[in-house]
Structures are given as structure tokens and as C-alpha cells.
Amino acid sequence: QVQLQESGPGLVKASETLSLTCTVSGYSISSGYYWGWIRQPPGKGLECIGSIYQSGTTNYSPSLKSRVTISVDTSKNQFSLKLNSVTAADTAVYYCARRRTAVFDFWGQGTMVTVSS
């Protein structure tokens, strides 16, 4: 069974960089699929942030592209998210998930990240 687990700080100061890592078990990232990040502000809907393929090919949401970097470490079976210059609007639950075109079939449990002023 594919399992994903997010990790990283739950509190980030405004203007700094949010950094999260997703560790995948039960499936090798090198075997295929894209691996993505999705977020959900409190009480609001889901928003795609971006995703990465094993080769390092990335795609990002146009609205976040200027601030986002997603990277992959196949040796650790992990992929990571960096979102810079954060504001209160970036406060959300951040999920990692396995992705193919418009399908997110396995999700992590999510991690709440709060941006403090």
C-alpha cells in the first residue's frame, strides 16, 4: 500500500520560507507517477501547488509559480516543497499526494502550517 507522510515546521514567520518534505513508502518514486503538493486553508477548498516527476520535471500552479520550488530525492524516496516570502494567506493544511493527470489517488495525512506575523 502506498503511504505518504508530510514533515516540517508547523509555524513559519511571515516573509520567510516554508519547507516541507514528503516521505513515500510502499512505492518507489523512481517507478513513475508525478508527486504533488496540495493545500487547504482553514475552512476553504483545495488548491494545487505543483508536482514533480522522478526525472525532476516540475509543474507549478501559475498563481504560485514565482514562489514555489519542488524537488525530489529518489535515493530517500522523498520529495520536498519550498514556498518563499510567505504571508498569512499561506496558512493552510499542506498535503502531499501521488498524482497522474487530474488524479490524486494516495494522500498524506496533511500537516498544518501557520504563518505568524
Partner 1 sequence: QSALTQPRSVSGSPGQSVTISCTGTSSDIGGYNYVSWYQQHPGKVPKLMIYDVNKRPSGVPDRFSGSKSGNTASLTISGLQAEDEADYYCCSYAGTNTFEVFGGGTKLTVL
User: Where along the sequence are the contacts to partner 1 (CB under 8 A)?
Assistant: 45-48, 50-51, 59, 61-62, 95, 99, 101-105, 107-110
Closer residue to partner 1 (CB): 19 or 106: 106
Q: Residue 105 CB, nearest distance to partner 1 (Å)?
A: 5
Per-residue burial over 76-98, b = 16 or more CB atoms within 10 Å of its CB, e = otherwise: ebbbbbebeebeeebbbbbbbbb
Closer residue to partner 1 (CB): 16 or 104: 104
Closer residue to partner 1 (CB): 18 or 48: 48
